Structure 1
Amino acid sequence: MESVVYSIWLAGLGLLFVALERIWPRRPIPVFRKGIWSDLFYIVFNSKYLGILTAYASAHVVKVFHLDFLRIAVLAEAGFWTQFWVLLFVFDFLQWCVHNLLHRVGWLWEFHKPHHSIVDLDWIGNWRFHWVEVVVYGALLYFPFGLFGFSGEAMFWNGVVSTLVGHFAHANLRWRIGPLKYVINSPEMHIWHHNHPDCGPVNRNFGITFSLWDWLFGTAWTPPADPDRLGFEGIESYPDQLPGQWAMPFVALWRRASGNLKG
């Protein structure tokens, strides 16, 4: 039932941001831009199937291997609002840490590259993730949080809020949010997470829901203007459709392994 309700929220938020991007666009990006059909598949697959499946699989592991004794009873018995705020902040900080790893560990970066292959950043780009990356997030986040005994309601609303802010941060919107940028992720910050190396420093603005982690740990970067280009070195030859984006990380790792063996 919760997956159905989340799908309704997802559809509603999608329609909202389609409208907002038409009214206040940062750049003139057509609705049916290049790669849109692949991204529509990503949003259905990663939200409706893979993400939910990973979360349920993590909870199932706890039951099958009788790991309930590891649960932290204090949080399991806490009220909704306590669970919600703890989950929102702690989960987001751990996402920030994992996001750092995706950029700094070579083989993880190959699987994160499809997300950074977006050259026309908009709300739906929030879902362009390789399935291996979704599994990595699940293993490092969903499984441990299954041990905390958070209620389904708290996890559901955490998902809704994270989706809302994720859509907002990726949206093609010319919005600036003033002092709130020090707390909440936003288009003015996140576009500089996707900038091409030719436009400025990379590995900045890792925030998912909250930007405050970047300000606290020195990875925030907010120039007054937008970058001229998005992507990474070699993006010109990177696949712009889903089959190639799914295959490319494995090809890159095979080439790297073959080179090491020859060396």
Structure 2
Amino acid sequence: MFEIIDLKAILIVFMIFVPLEHLVPLHEGRRYLRRAFVTDLLHLLVTGLLFKIGFLIFVGACMMAIDSAVPSIIGETVRAQPIWLQTIEVIVISDVGFYVAHRTLHSVPFLWRFHAIHHSIEELDALAAHRVHPLDQLFVKATSLLPIYALGFSVWPIIIAGLIYQWQALLIHSNIRIGFGPFKWVVASPLFHHWHHANEPAAIDKNFAGQLSIIDAIFGTMYMPEAMPTKYGTDEPVPDAYFRQLAYPFTRPKRPPIASDLQMAELNHDQSN
């Protein structure tokens, strides 16, 4: 789990998703070695490791509190259910947590500075799905999975749900033309998530769910026209370089100039002339 180089992630992206993105592209004419390719590759290799280390420490600390606070009968009852039913429950509960965490990242200005790194993606594909600040990922995963651990689900349903999430996260970011038919209103698709990343006024703060689009339908945050968005990213000046992206949330945001600043600039300009 804590390998230095995540060979599994590399193989999934480059042996499966990259060929599909060229065979059935959602947006034609995308370059293989696109802008920010190296940055996103570093996110895949380095950010994943940083997150795993942080998540292990965080969950270990929380599990000690959970063991003493949650009655054992709850876990015994949950684990008595069939594996398939537990898997469905894990997906639903964790995605509700994902929705809450994701919406919070968009609502709280300080947390948005972490999440803005992910939204700085201007060309969506499977590799770009890995562009996430490790503390952003830690917050989302903790909110999604701590209820699962607290309820005492069996190991296999958690593993199966985790594998489904990993594949779906890559799929919904990918540049693959695939239709979900009527299921698009229930299950998150590339169309659904591409609109979440769209830099268009009508799409701002929409489509927060990671796996179940029906959650957004329930809470009134779904936006999914048939046409695909043409512009992605954010107007926020997020740096392109990997290590500058890691430091970006902790830097002071540049404030817009106020009247006195403008007057001083004009005065200095007049004096220089």
Worse-superposed segment, 72-81 or 90-99: 72-81
Instruction: Provide the secondary structure at the position in 2 that maps to 1:192.
Output: helix
Deviations 1:120-164 (A, max 9, x none): 000122221111212212443333432222233222211110011
1:131 aligns with 2:139: no
1:177 aligns with 2:180: yes
In structure 1, how many angstroms separate the alpha carbons of the residues matched to 2:112 and 2:169?
Answer: 20
From the superposition, tell whether residues 63 and 176 of structure 1 become closer, same or farther in structure 2 (CA, over 3 Å). closer
From the superposition, tell whether residues 139 and 163 of structure 1 become closer, same or farther in structure 2 (CA, over 3 Å). closer
1:147 aligns with 2:147: no
Q: 1:36 matched to which residue of 2?
A: 37
In structure 2, how many angstroms separate the alpha carbons of the residues matched to 1:182 and 1:144?
Answer: 25
Q: 2:266 matched to which residue of 1?
A: none
**Contact 2:51/2:135 (8 A) holds in 1:** no
Q: How far off is 1:62 after superposition?
A: 4.4
Letter in 2 for 1:43: L
Q: 1:102 matched to which residue of 2?
A: 105
Q: Percent identity?
A: 27
Q: 1:13 matched to which residue of 2?
A: 12
Letter in 2 for 1:214: D
**Contact 1:62/1:147 (8 A) holds in 2:** no
1:115 aligns with 2:118: yes
In structure 1, how many angstroms separate the alpha carbons of the residues matched to 2:221 and 2:214?
Answer: 10
Q: How far off is 1:12 after superposition?
A: 4.4
| Structure 2 portions without partners, runs of 5+ | 259-273
Q: 1:209 matched to which residue of 2?
A: 211
**Contact 1:21/1:172 (8 A) holds in 2:** yes
Letter in 1 for 2:39: S
From the superposition, tell whether residues 139 and 45 of structure 1 become closer, same or farther in structure 2 (CA, over 3 Å). same
| Structure 1 portions without partners, runs of 5+ | none
Deviations 1:10-67 (A, max 9, x none): 34432211111010112222222111122112123343x2343344334422454573
The structure 2 residue matched to 1:224, chosen from 210, 226, 237, is: 226
Letter in 2 for 1:61: A
1:52 aligns with 2:27: no
Letter in 2 for 1:10: A
Q: 2:86 matched to which residue of 1?
A: 83
Deviations 1:44-96 (A, max 9, x none): 3343x234334433442245457345153222444422321111111011101
Instruction: Provide the secondary structure at the position in 2 that maps to 1:26.
Output: coil
**Contact 1:110/1:252 (8 A) holds in 2:** no
**Contact 1:58/1:138 (8 A) holds in 2:** no
What TM-score do the two structures reach when normalised by structure 2? 0.81
1:167 aligns with 2:170: yes
1:191 aligns with 2:191: no
Q: 2:22 matched to which residue of 1?
A: 22
From the superposition, tell whether residues 77 and 54 of structure 1 become closer, same or farther in structure 2 (CA, over 3 Å). farther
Q: Report the aligned-residue RMSD.
A: 2.4
Worse-superposed segment, 144-153 or 242-251: 144-153
How many residues in Structure 1 have an aligned counterpart in Structure 2?
A: 249
**Contact 1:87/1:155 (8 A) holds in 2:** yes
Q: How far off is 1:207 after superposition?
A: 1.6
Choose 1 or 2 for highest CA Rg.
2
